[in-house]
Chains A and B, each alone.
Chain A
Amino acid sequence: MTTPSITRRIRAPQAGRRTASPTAPLPPRGAWARRAPLLPALLFMIVVTQLPFVGTLVISFMRWNALDPGDRGLAGFQNYKTAFTDPDLRSSMTTTVVLTVAVVMVSLVLGLGLALLMDRKFLGRGVVRTMLITPFLVVPVASALLWKHALYNTSYGLINGSLTWLWSLFGSHDAPQPDWLSVAPLLSVEASLVWQWTPFMMLILLAGLQSRPADITEAARVDGAGAWQIFRYLTFPHLRRYLELAALLGTVYVVQNFDAVFTLTSGGLGTANLPYTVYTTFYQAHDYGQASAQGVIVVALSIIVATFALRTVSSLFREETR
Chain B
Amino acid sequence: MTAAAAPTLRTARTARTAGGTRARRGSALLGLLAWLCGVAFFLPFAWMLLTSLHSEQDAAANPPHLGAALTLHGYREFFGSGTGVSPWPPLVNSLTASLAATLLVLVLATPAAYALSIKPVRKWTDVMFFFLSTKMLPAVAGLLPVYLIAKNAGLLDNIWLLVILYTSMNLPIAVWMMRSFLADVPVAIIEAASIDGAGLPTVLVRIVAPVVMPGIAATALISFIFSWNELLFARVLTGVVAGTAPVFLTGFVTSQGLFLAKVCAAAVCISLPVLAAGFAAQDKLVQGLSLGAVK
B197 at interface, CB cutoff 8 A: no
Asked whether A35 lies within 8 Å of B289 as measured between CB atoms, the reply is no
Report which of A124, A137, A140, A262 forms a contact with B278, defined as CB distance below 8 A: A137
Contacts of A198 in B (CB 8 A): 41
Contacts of B115 in A (CB 8 A): 34-38
Number of residues from A at the complex interface, CB < 8 A: 117
Contacts of B134 in A (CB 8 A): 45, 49-50
Count: A-B pairs, CB below 8 Å: 344
Bound: A211/B146 CA distance, A:
42
Contacts of B145 in A (CB 8 A): 51-56, 59
B160 shortest CB reach to chain A, Å: 13
> Which residue on chain B has the smallest CB distance to residue A177?
B62
B30 shortest CB reach to chain A, Å: 6
Asked whether A203 lies within 8 Å of B260 as measured between CB atoms, the reply is no
> Which residue on chain B has the smallest CB distance to residue A282?
B144
A7 shortest CB reach to chain B, Å: 18
Report which of B27, B30, B171, B285 forms a contact with A133, defined as CB distance below 8 A: B285
Interface-central residue, A118, A132, A209, by most chain B CB under 10 Å? A132
> Which residue on chain A has the smallest CB distance to residue B51?
A150
- Given A135-B45, A158-B47, check contact A203 B27 (CB 8 Å): no
A12 at interface, CB cutoff 8 A: no
A302 shortest CB reach to chain B, Å: 5
Asked whether B44 lies within 8 Å of A195 as measured between CB atoms, the reply is yes
B264 at interface, CB cutoff 8 A: yes
A19 at interface, CB cutoff 8 A: no
B190 at interface, CB cutoff 8 A: no
B138 at interface, CB cutoff 8 A: yes
A296 at interface, CB cutoff 8 A: yes
Asked whether A122 lies within 8 Å of B61 as measured between CB atoms, the reply is no
B264 shortest CB reach to chain A, Å: 6
Contacts of B41 in A (CB 8 A): 131-132, 134-135, 195, 198-199
Asked whether B137 lies within 8 Å of A299 as measured between CB atoms, the reply is yes
Stretch at the interface among A78-86, A182-190, A309-317: A309-317
Could you give, for residues 258-294 of chain B, a 1 whenever the CB lies within 8 Å of some chain A CB and a 0 otherwise? 1010011011101100110011001001110111011
> Which residue on chain A has the smallest CB distance to residue B59?
A156
Q: Chain A: residues with CB nearer than 8 A to chain B? A: 31, 34-38, 40-42, 44-45, 48-56, 59, 113-114, 117-125, 127-143, 145-147, 149-151, 153, 155-156, 158, 160-162, 164-165, 168, 195, 198-200, 203-204, 206-212, 214, 217-218, 221-222, 241-242, 245, 249, 252, 255-256, 258-259, 262-263, 274-275, 278-279, 282-283, 288, 291-292, 295-296, 298-299, 302-303, 305-306, 309-310, 313-314, 317, 320
Q: Chain B: residues with CB nearer than 8 A to chain A? A: 3-4, 6-14, 17, 27-28, 30-31, 33-35, 37-39, 41-42, 44-45, 47-48, 51, 59-64, 108-109, 111-112, 114-116, 119, 121-122, 125, 127-149, 164-165, 167-168, 171-172, 175, 180, 225, 228-229, 231-232, 236, 245-246, 249-250, 253, 258, 260, 263-264, 266-268, 270-271, 274-275, 278-279, 282, 285-287, 289-291, 293-295
